[in-house]
Amino acid sequence: MATKAKVAIERRFGLDRETLLKLYRTMVAARRTDDKEIQLKRQNKIFFQISGAGHEAVQVAIAQHLRPGSDWFYLYYRDRALTLALGMTPYDHLLQAVAAAADPSSGGRQMPSHWGHRDLRIVSTSSPTGTQFLQAVGCAEAGWRASLLDGMRAAIEEFRDDEVVLVTTGDGTTSEGEFWEALNTACNLKLPVIFLVEDNGYAISVPVEVNTAGGKISKLVTGFPNLYIEEVDGCDVLASYEAAGRAVAHARERKGPALLHAHVIRPYSHSMSDDERMYKPDQERAQEAERDPLVTYRAFLIEEGIAKAEELDALEQEVAAEVQEAADRALEQPQPAKDTATLYLYSPDVDPTAEQFDTEDDPRFDGEETTMVDLLNACLRDEMERDPRIVVFGEDVADASREAVLEECKGKGGVFKVTWGLQRRFGGTRVFNSPLAEANIVGRAIGMATRGLKPVVEIQFFDYIWPAMMQIRDELATMRYRSANAWSSPVVIRVAYGGYLKGGAIYHSQTGEALFTHTPGLRVVMPSNAVDANGLLRTAIRCDDPVIFLEHKHLYRQVYNKGRYPGPNFMIPFGKAKVVREGSDVTVVTCGAVVKRSLDAAKVAAERGIDVEVIDLRSLNPLDMETIAASVRKTNKVIVAHEDALSWGIGSEIAARIADELFPWLDGPVKRVASLDTWVAYSPELEDVILPNAEDVLRAIEELHAF
């Protein structure tokens, strides 16, 4: 008898009876909440359901080693038991299921099982699989970098030096490239990230051996340095508790990241839109049922004398009643008011179109005229001096990753030299190079921004922004909206943009700003000259929204758009276009490199008796329709000229708005001048005919004037 008692104590790993029963209670609460949602879906009282059934054991086990409100959590949709163990309630979950305005995760904006809780540091979960990995790495990286600099640490939310970041996933999502990018950076920087892989053997209907070479992710990742790897039966609560404890300790001790590969089951279908009987035979489903953690853990509690069957029956009935009561209350809660549909697309507190960002009329000019590159660099320098939260990173942006060589070398500072000298001035903790991976840059930046840092990142060429598109559109642009303002990611993405390069060709001349202006939640800016670039970048950094800052490569060092340094507080508000040439006959609305071409066309048109007004938009989203409208009411004829392809470009949107809002003042059709609907070719002669030039704008001016 004494031996049996000793074995029982050893098997509990120091967990007392109260804790062991609490773990079971949480597991039961998670399963009963799943069951209640399934019932509500069948009654058409909720609109979607996806369960965490079969994953409960490892989730409640790892939660015992974590500190909600101190550690950070990037979860996925099967983590119901984990969120309950961290402090959420079945009522919280059911509020989301019924799309109630009071839903603490999203205010009724996301489907069920998309967790979020500001106080518990559960960062808003989204549907795209795998986007959470890089954000978790960025979150951990923010804490690490802040721990190295007192000024940065004091400027962000308080944290403990041994905090960890937990990121969870199913096995199927480890096929995403961002999983490997995240492991690469986490291991390279020895970041305290714990990757919990909840492997239930399937990605919807696709079995693990199809998703993962060899069928075992923990075996594939053994080559990563500093990565602690554990494999465990995720249906066994106590084995999971022991393995998770070692993984968390490895991260807390700053030995590097950890990967916990937990083998779990999925007793329910992927979601209620799926029927697992179509691809899982009865024998396999029966074998999984034998491993059900609720069944096996209940049996353990009884066999070890921790609780009697009657006690557990009573506990289960009590939980079922609590879940029923939570469901009844949730169903009574109102839906979000219709007038909140666009609330929290942008910061409700910091408006970059407001007067506080308008110091354009009071520049403090100093020094000689210089280029756009130089004034962008000066703005970054000023802002980094002002705000210790700012970090600058991307491909080649540092002077030199190997800082010792700076005694002998001038330093890189970006392929266009926009960030030159910043690393020397502010150090490698704040200015650093990234891997050659655009999603890595943006995903990490999002994670850093949720921690309170202000990342200003560089995508080296617009042509290569596309690997980051998932992070930009589905994560960066939605973070504030989908969390009902609980979380935000005010990242500035600087992008070298456009053609007119003589040799840029297909992959160094691309445009496509409409893809970003079409994305709710993003600010999109395109300066045409050095002074505007300085003022708009300062606004981008000081505002609290994500900004796509388009820097035209052709304009970086042009003589005609040089300007003097306007001072460290010079700002131009977003949504404020500029009339760069006044006229009375025809309006040309333009932006970027086409501003100069439009001015050249207007000069020739004036010699031919046509007085042209030219508007530089500067900001594409928000768009200054007031300035456009004032001009159209004066000239009654308007052309929209832009560099991107003619079809589906921003010219189409602006023309449509003019037609909708200003039709009574039009004396002719709204004309567009833009690139041909093709790619920019390498041949200078082809490039010249593809891109819009002054001659194209002039032709449109004369045709419209004669209408």
Residues carrying an active site annotation: 508
Cα 176 from Cα 701, distance rounded (Å): 50
Give me the amino acid identity at 197.
V
Would you say 201 and 261 are in contact if contact means Cβ atoms under 8 Å apart? no
Give me the residues paired with residue 459 across strands: 495
Per the listing, tokens 């445009």 go with: 511
Contact 396, 591 (CB under 8 A): no
3-state secondary structure of 338: helix
Helix or strand run (H / E) with residue 138: helix 131-148
Bridge partners of 581, per DSSP, are 614
What separation, in Å, do the N-terminal and C-terminal C-alpha atoms of the chain show? 103
**Rounded to whole angstroms, how far apart are CA atoms 648 and 251?**
49
**How far, in Å, are 22, 346, 352 from residue 458 at the CA level?**
48, 22, 21
Count CB atoms within 10 A of the CB of residue 244. Answer: 27
Phi–psi pair at 459, nearest 5 degrees: -100, 115
Reduced to 3 states, what is the DSSP secondary structure of residue 583?
Answer: coil
Instruction: Spell out the residues 6+ positions from residue 512 whose beta carbon is closer than 8 angstroms to its own.
Output: 462, 644
Count other C-beta atoms under 10 Å from residue 102's C-beta.
Answer: 16
Nearest in space to 112 (alpha carbons), one of 161, 175, 49: 49
And the tokens for 305? Answer: 């004398």
- CB-side exposure of 535: number of CA atoms within 13 Å? 30
Q: What is the dihedral of CA 465, 401, 452, 495, to 10 degrees?
A: -20
Residue type, 368: E
Q: 617-640: b or e for each residue (b if 16 or more CB lie within 10 Å)? A: bbbbbbbbbebbebbbeebbbbbb
Question: How big, in percent rounded to 5, are the helix, strand and coil portions of the chain?
Answer: 45, 15, 40
Q: How many CA atoms lie within 13 A of 49 on its CB side?
A: 24
DSSP 476: I
Residues 415, 461: Cα–Cα separation, whole Å: 10
